[in-house]
Amino acid sequence: MPRRLSRRKPPPESPEDPRGAEPADGEAATEPGPQRMRPSEIAARAALTLLLIGLIAWILLGNVSDLEAVGEALQGVSREAGIVLIVMVLVVQLLIALQLGLTVPGLGMTQAFVAVEGAAAVSNTVPGPSGTATRLGMLRSWGFNTGEFARSWLFTSSLTNFMVVVGPVFGVLIAIAIGDASWQLMLLGLIAVAVSVTAVVIVWMMVRKAAFAYRLGALVGRFVRWGAGVVHRRPSEHDFAEAAVDFRDGLIELWSHRGGRIVAAVVAVYVGNGIILAISMRAVGLGTDAIPIGAVAVVYTVVRLLTIVNITPGGVGVVEALYTAAFLIVTGGADEAEIVAGVILFRGLTYAGPILLGAAALLVWRLKKSWRKPVRPEPIGPASVGATLAGREPPEE
C-alpha cells in the first residue's frame, strides 16, 4: 500500500537548519494520531489510581501511632537544610534536562528543561504514558520528528534502567565498606549482579551484532504490539526490529561523541536523588546512629529497583509505602514518626517539586511561539514506533 504523503510540505526554516531540509527519498510526512485510550479508559485508570493511593495512605498513616510527632519532625527541618534540598532538586532536574539535550542534537538546554519539567508534571498527575506523550508533543512542536524522540527515549531509558538495576550492588558494597552488611544484603547483591550481568550482555550483543539487535527488536515488538493492542495498524514487528537496529546505530554514534557525558549525567541524577533522600532523613532528626549511611544506600537502591515500573502516576503512594516499610525494617520499628516525616519530605521535593516546575514549563511552552518549527518528514516506521511508545495512535500509511 503506498504511503500517504502530506498535502503540504513544510518549508525549510533556513539553509543551516537540518530540520527544515528536504526529506530524503522514501520518507513520508507523518503525524501521530490521538491518544490510544478513550476518555472512559482514562477516567477508569484515574479512579483506580486514586483508590490505590487512598488505600496505601490509609494503611500507611493508619499505622503511624503519632501523626502530631510527624508534623513536629517536619517543622524541625532547618532553613539551611531546606535550601540545600531545594538546590539539590534543581540540580537533578537540570541534569535530567542535560540528558535530553545530549541525546537530541540541536535541542537547547532551555528547551530541554521545559520539555523535561512539563512532561514530569503530566506524568506525575495523569495515568498512562502521559509524560512520554507530552514530551513527544513538545519536541514535535519545535521541529523534531518522532524518530528523534524515540531514539532519545530509548537511549536515556536504557541507561537509566541499567543504573537502577545495578544500583543495589553499589548499595550493598557501601554497606559492606562501613561494616553494616548482613546475609540478606549479600543475597540481594548477588541477585542484582546476576540481573546486571544479563543486561550488560544484552546491550553488548546489540552493539556487536546488528542481526541480534534486529531479532531482539522484533521480539520486543511482539510484546509491545500485544500490550498496546496494535495489530492491524503500524508499527509492525519489522518496524520495531528496524528501530532496534537504528537504536544500535544511534547508540554507537552517541557513545562515540557524547557517551561519557550522557553516562555521567545519568549516574549523577541517580546519585543525586539518593543524596536528597539521605539529607531528608537527616533533616528530620535521624542521625547515623539510627539509620547509617549504608542503610540509606541499600534502601534507596532497592526501592528504586522495586519501582522501576510505576503502577501509579510518579509511583505516588507505592514509593512512600516501600521507603517507610524498608526504613522501619532497618530501625526495627523505632523512630516511626521521623521516618514517615523524612519520606514525606523526600517525596514532597522529588514528586511534587517537578509538578510545580512543570506547570510553569507548560505555560512557557504554550506562550513561546518563537520556538515553534515545522516537523521534518520521516519514514513511517520510526514514527509509528515512537507514537506507540508515547501511547498514541500510529500514523496511517
Q: How far apart are CA 316 and CA 339, in angstroms?
A: 17
In terms of Cα–Cα distance, which of 354, 305, 382, 370 is closest to 118? 354
- Quick one: pLDDT at residue 267? 93
Residue-by-residue DSSP string for 232-248: SSS--HHHHHHHHHHHH
The maximal CA–CA distance of the chain, rounded, in angstroms, is 69
Q: What is the pLDDT of residues 53-106, one digit of tens each?
A: 666 666 566 656 667 778 888 888 899 999 999 999 999 999 999 999 998 888
Reported pTM: 0.75
Report the pLDDT value the prediction gives residue 158, as an integer from 0 to 100: 77
For the chain, list residues with pLDDT below 50.
Answer: 1-26, 231-232
pLDDT of residue 84: 96
87 burial via Cβ count (<10 Å: 0-12, 13-18, 19+): exposed
State the pLDDT at residue 12.
40
